[in-house]
Amino acid sequence: MATICRVSYVALVLIAGTAGLLTSSLAEDFVPPLRMLPSEIASRAASFAKDLTFPQPVKAGDELISSQAAFLKPDGDGPFPALVMVHQCAGVNQAIVLWAREAVSLGYVVLLIDSLTPRQVSTLCFGPRNGVNLFRGAKDAFQAADHLRQYPFVDPTRLSFVGFSWGAMVGLIVSSARYAEALGGRPFVSVASFYPGCFRVSRPNTPSFDIVSDDMKQPTLVLMGATDNETPASECVEKLHEAKSAGSAVEWHVYPDTGHCWDCRQLDGRSKTDLRGNLVSYKFRQDVTTDSSKRLFQFLAAPHRGK
């Protein structure tokens, strides 16, 4: 009972809401880390904010502008493969809009969700707000997938998830078979996470837990930058190796000399101090953006997807 109470405290206080989570130093009374939160805690964390209302589909990708949720489809009757896309910690931006448009041009239906604006949240970059945390984000994604399955132009056997930074961390949650069951979600066919944080969430004298789980049963792709100091690849690779060794269907690639948000042209040349005190400088990389697009869509179109 004491353990569950301590885990509850972790869930309520430090459920990941940003790429900048703190990993605390060792406490005097060490409590062994958990691979993942108990199902009842994850489920409760996902209930802190109300469900989203999803937009209706539109045909033209050009109708999508920054800072709004959108439901886009190619011309034709389909059925088309479909993507649930989830934004970074500051919400829908120009970069993810371009990803959505590219996906539509390649024949994908895209449901780009906004977990922030309907809940009066402007940013999660410094922590959860108004009940929006990673587990709420994961539940949003599962509910978005259920919304897509209602439409005859969507191929329900080819429904995948793509997330960026905060959304990529949501991707690591939805890729877990146990978390999917806890949140009542049907698994995605595949999951792609761009520059996620693979932090161990912890507080003094409480059990910590890893965002990376060891039960990714569907194919999962993780793309990272070697010089990213906001969500360091070094904090991911070892845990991804462990997950793969445990049987997880995960693959990854680390881009040399590449920082956080390499696809974010709108942030090129800007910098900030993150929650951990790191000075984060953003540099747009067209070459890496092009290569990561190639890797993403080859991964999504692999013959075994949806079989």
Give the residue from 14, 4, 1 showing the smallest Cα distance to 41: 4
Separation CA 286–CA 292 (nearest Å)? 10
Q: CA–CA separation, 98 vs 230, rounded Å? A: 22
pLDDT in the model for residue 14: 41
∠246-229-7 over CA atoms, to 5°? 50
Buried b (16+ CB within 10 A) or exposed e, 258-293: bbbbbbbbebeeeeeebeeeeebbbbbbeebbebbb
DSSP of 52-121: P-PPPPBS-GGG--TTS-EEE--SSS--EEEEEEE-BTTBS-HHHHHHHHHHHHTT-EEEEE-SSGGGT-
pTM of the full predicted structure?
0.87
The set of residues, in sequence order, having a beta carbon less than 8 Å from that of 51 and lying 6+ positions away, is 139, 140, 143
How many other C-beta atoms lie within 10 A of the C-beta of residue 246?
A: 13
Residues of the chain with pLDDT under 70: 1-34, 59-67, 202-207, 304-307
Give the bridge partners for 4, in sequence order.
none
pLDDT at 62 (0 to 100): 56
Q: What is the pLDDT of residue 304?
A: 54
pLDDT at 220: 97
Ordered by where they begin, the domains of the chain are: 2-300 (3.40.50.1820)
Tell the residue number behind the tokens 């997938």, with chain if given. 145
- 193 forms beta bridges with 163, 222
151 conformational bin, left if phi > 0, alpha if psi -120 to 50, beta if neither: beta
> What gap in Å lies between CA 115 and CA 256, rounded to an integer?
31
Task: Specify the pLDDT at position 166.
Answer: 95
Structure tokens at 14: 């430090």
Average pLDDT over the chain, rounded to an integer: 85
Query: Can you say whether the dihedral through the CA atoms of 121, 114, 176, 292 is positive or negative?
Result: negative
pLDDT of residue 227: 96
Q: Which amino acid is at 186?
A: R
